[in-house]
Structures are given as structure tokens and as C-alpha cells.
Chain A
Amino acid sequence: MSGGSVEPKRWQDEMYDELRKANVTQFCYVPDAGHTIIINRSLADTGVHSIGLTSEEEGVALLAGADLGGARGVLLMQSSGVGNCINMLSLIEGSRFPFLAIVSMRGQFGEGNAWQFAMGQAVETVLSAMGVICLKVDRPEDVVQTIQAALTMTFKSGRAVAVLLCQKLLGAKKF
């Protein structure tokens, strides 16, 4: 590199790069502001399938099908989408499918929309009850090592893991 300052990589880009390094090729999501960068990266990447869903539970089943075929995927969703997945997570638990979700949290630190609290505050309880291990991230500098840990736990050890991108990390939406 010759001279000039190099823009630090956004943590969202680092997260995407880690997923691609681990050979994740199916990205599925219900559109969400918190996941904009990673969704757009997947849309621009000819090496992956970028799949918009009508409801988050579709993504749980999609990832199970991907695993049957030897592929790896990730479900990107907002905390409110976690509730839509509950019964479908029985598929993951019952058949021991590896499962990786990245959840952008609402209803937490500085939330200004009262509607978001019920599901946001229940996310960890609900996911834990269905056998999904939650890894919380509060600080940008912890993102990469957390996603690396989640990828190892999911695809080497065959666990179900959700990385929770907390509102302190994402910043609360203004109301």
C-alpha cells in the first residue's frame, strides 16, 4: 500500500467475509435494516444464493435442506422473527441439523418503540428452550471472534447457534 489512509473495514463486512471463508453459500432473510450490509453483500455475490423469505421459519427449513445436500447456510433475522421460528426449530433439534442464525436485536438498549420489547426480551429464553445456543455481541471488536466461534460450533460440532447482535452494538433506531 502506498501512502494515504485505509478505511477500516466495517464489522459487517468482516462478518460476511468470515461466513464466506467458512463456505456458507445460502443466505436467507426477511429484509431488515440491521442486516442491510450483509444482505446486500450476498445479493452482489455470484458465489452464493441470496434468498428472501416471507417468514423466518422458512429459513429454518431451508437450512436443514441445505445440510441434507451438503451445503452451509445462515438465517439472518430481527429479534421479532425469532418468535416465528419456534416450532420449526424442532426440526433442528430432532434431526440434529447444524443451524446458524444471526439476530439483529430490538427491544433492548435504548429502544424507543414499545412494540419491540416483548419479543426482543424473550429471544434468549425462547432460543435456549429450543436448544439454540446464544452468543451475544455488544462491541464491534468482538464481532469477528464471535462469528468464528459460532461457525466452528455450528459446522464442526453440529450445534444450533444464534449470534445476537445487541442493540448496544447496532444502535437504537430513532423514534
Chain B
Amino acid sequence: MMKLIKLELRRNNLKPYLWGSLGIFIFTVAMGVFFSALPLIDPNDPSAKMMSDFTMSSSPVSIIVMSSYAILGTVMHSKFIVEEYTGRKNVLLFTYPQKRSQILLAKYTLTFVFTIAALILSNVVALLLVNLIGNVTGLITKPINIDSVANALLLSMILGFIANLISTIALRVGFLKKSIIWTLVTAIILVSLFGNSVTLSSNFVLPIFFAVGTVLMVICLILFIGLLKKVNKMECL
């Protein structure tokens, strides 16, 4: 399996996705600084305080980061899986004497690991940077502690997982319709639905995250097993 993942790394150009992650990181820092300035406008508004803390799952920054990585993961799935299996390149993939399901799993794992790792790194570094900028400019008075970093780490893992679940559903729809546009549109609809449901129910965010996450995980598992079977039986017409 590791060998197949290494081969995927060799034959796919990851540079555009690294640039994409860098873009999301810069955006995260900018949003973090912007939202940390909100309590200065109205110090008595509790929602401004909540928004300024982007280690909280309901903060707009968290939702935007999760949505961005869900879209990034979907673009990677579109390029590595939908395009390759539904285009002319499938003849090449299907003539390797390797289990088709393992090649697919290697492609999926690459995107899964990349998305989670990039999200965690970007979020934690952004948290540190926003705090540094906040302290220097006086926007943030409370110093960062180990709990905030641990929270950011945990939240990033959960967000990364949910981003991957969303992109997996989008992948399956795109594969079914043999269309990259369908893949991306599905991801955009799902992140909009998820983002809205989380921000509308900010009082119950953690239970909602777990409930939605569990439902999504079951759906994804069923869809992914279906995808493995489909690829195994695919013909090159």
C-alpha cells in the first residue's frame, strides 16, 4: 500500500494543492486577525467574543477553513480519481497488475492525509500567528496557552475529518455522474448546508458536530465500499 501511495505522489503534481493550502492559511490568518478585532467595536456583544476565538468550533473562521479544505479535497479527488477513472487514463490504470481497489485506496488515502495534515498545520500555525499579531497590535490581551493549542489541534482534526467526509460524498456523486462539475457542485452544496446548520445552532455545536460527523461517516463508508466495488467491475469501453 505504501508503495502505491509513493507512486501516486510521484506521478501526481501536488504543487497546486500546496499553493492552495498556503492560500487558505493566509486567508485564515487574515480572518483570525479581523475577527479578533471585533470585541473592540462592541466589548459587550457576546457573539463578537465568540467569533474572535477561532479555536471554537462555531467560529466563522473554523467553518470557512473546514469548507475551504472540503473543496480542496474535492478538487484533489476530482483530479486523482474522477478524471482518471472516467477519462481515457483508465486504460492505463487498469492494465497495471495491481488490485484495482488498492490503487483507488492509495489515491483516496493521499488526499485524506494531505487534507487533514494541511488543515492541522495551517490551523495551528495560524492560531499562533494570529495571537502573535494580536499581542503585538494589542488586539488580543489574553496570552495563548497550551489549552488553546490543544483545542485548536483537536478542532482541526475534527474539521479535517468532516472536510474529508464531505469530499468523499462529493466524489461518489461525481463518479456516478462521471463529471468533475457535479463533484464540485455537490461539495459546495454540502459545505453550505453544513456551515449553515453549525452557525445557526451555535449553542449546540459540539453535539451537532458529532451527530453530523457520525451520520456522514456511515454514509461515506457505504458510498466508498460501493465505489471500490464499482471500480473493480469497471470496463474500458
Q: Are A and B physically bound partners?
A: no
Query: Taking beta carbons and an 8 Å cutoff, which residues of A are in contact with B?
Result: none
- Taking Cβ atoms with an 8 Å cutoff, the residues of B that contact A are none
